[in-house]
């Protein structure tokens, strides 16, 4: 079964990244990767080392962890023939049977947003068994690193068997290059000026740079001149980012409540629908 697309929790790299490959959507991974050379190289070295069983890529929201995963997969495919790579679907839990179906050949299991999953112990146990020839590649936010490392340590996935890659903010030069790539303005001098201003206003955050560049390209670049500070710009930015998603949920009268709900869920990640304490908070939203 190894190497074939199976129903269930597994996705090929192409299947996983397919939703992100349309350059016309606000957030996509179709553009050239800017910077991150060291992070990509270190991750590739770690996951292709058969002695390493788990690799953690940690970084805050918007630092580009998923885009790094895409580049890592591309590099490994080019350099490590026969090494099988599969992604864990975010919509299904993984069972022991699912893992056994992968076979015994050398493989990498990629888990994006690992901080949101509750089936990691199953994966750690599987990877800890040498005969399974498996390395786990996890991308997660920093607040999830310590508890997830603790889970992994219960299966002796620590020391030389585990590697950590930290994704920090890009340098200013790379951030400006990213902004230039995301901006679709025809006036080159205007693009350069806006890229510099945008990088400063977003505090060098990758996600905010991309969203800001797309919003400014589609609307009015002159808006930058009206912005007084970073906070006011970000509020406008995220309202633009939020509206297309919220607009497809519920009725028009539900919009304000849905925005409140999404804000609460964003703050309390990871979110589990069966957590009664969280449900109590949500229930009181309009009370």
pLDDT at 287: 52
Q: Which stretches in the chain have pLDDT values below 50?
A: 1-5, 244-251
**Residues paired with 85 in a beta bridge:** 108
Q: What is the C-alpha separation between 80 and 41, in angstroms, rounded?
A: 14
Angle between helices 206-218 and 230-246 in degrees, nearest 10:
70
Q: What is the C-alpha separation between 240 and 141, in angstroms, rounded?
A: 24
All residues at 6 or more sequence positions from 283 whose CB lies less than 8 Å from its CB, including other chains: none
pLDDT at 262: 56
The answer, as to whether pTM is greater than 0.85, is no
| Other CB atoms within 10 A of residue 137 CB | 26
pLDDT at 246: 43
pLDDT at 218: 73
**Residues paired with 276 in a beta bridge:** none
All residues at 6 or more sequence positions from 172 whose CB lies less than 8 Å from its CB, including other chains: 199, 204
pLDDT at 65: 93
Exposed, middle or buried by CB within 10 Å (0-12, 13-18, 19+), for 152?
buried
pLDDT at 63: 87
Q: What is the C-alpha separation between 171 and 154, in angstroms, rounded?
A: 37
DSSP H helical ranges for 80-116: 96-100
Which position has the token pair 């056994």?
100
């Amino acid at each position: 079964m190894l190497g074939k697309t199976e129903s269930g929790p597994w996705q090929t790299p192409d299947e996983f990244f397919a939703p992100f490959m349309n350059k016309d959507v606000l957030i996509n991974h179709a553009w050239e990767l800017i910077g991150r050379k060291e992070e990509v190289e270190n991750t590739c070295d770690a996951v292709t080392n058969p002695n390493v069983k788990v690799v953690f890529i940690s970084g805050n929201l918007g630092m580009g962890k998923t885009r790094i995963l895409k580049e890592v997969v591309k590099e490994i495919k080019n350099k490590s023939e026969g090494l099988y790579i599969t992604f864990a679907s975010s919509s299904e839990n993984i069972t022991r049977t699912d893992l056994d179906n992968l076979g015994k050949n050398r493989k990498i299991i990629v888990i994006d947003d690992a901080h949101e999953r509750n089936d990691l112990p199953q994966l750690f146990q599987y990877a800890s068994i040498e005969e399974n020839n498996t390395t786990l590649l996890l991308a997660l936010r920093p607040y999830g690193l310590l508890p997830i490392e603790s889970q992994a340590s219960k299966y002796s996935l620590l020391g030389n068997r585990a590697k950590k890659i930290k994704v920090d903010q890009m340098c200013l030069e790379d951030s400006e290059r990213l902004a230039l790539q995301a901006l679709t303005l025809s006036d080159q001098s205007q693009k350069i000026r806006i890229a510099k201003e945008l990088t400063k206003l977003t505090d060098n955050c990758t996600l905010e740079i991309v969203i800001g560049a797309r919003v400014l390209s589609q609307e009015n670049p002159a808006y930058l001149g009206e912005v007084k500070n970073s906070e006011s710009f970000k509020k406008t930015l995220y309202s633009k980012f939020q509206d297309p998603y919220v607009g497809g949920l519920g009725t028009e009268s539900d919009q304000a409540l849905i925005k409140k709900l999404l804000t609460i869920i964003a703050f309390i990640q990871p979110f589990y629908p069966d957590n009664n304490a969280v449900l109590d908070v949500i229930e009181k939203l309009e009370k």
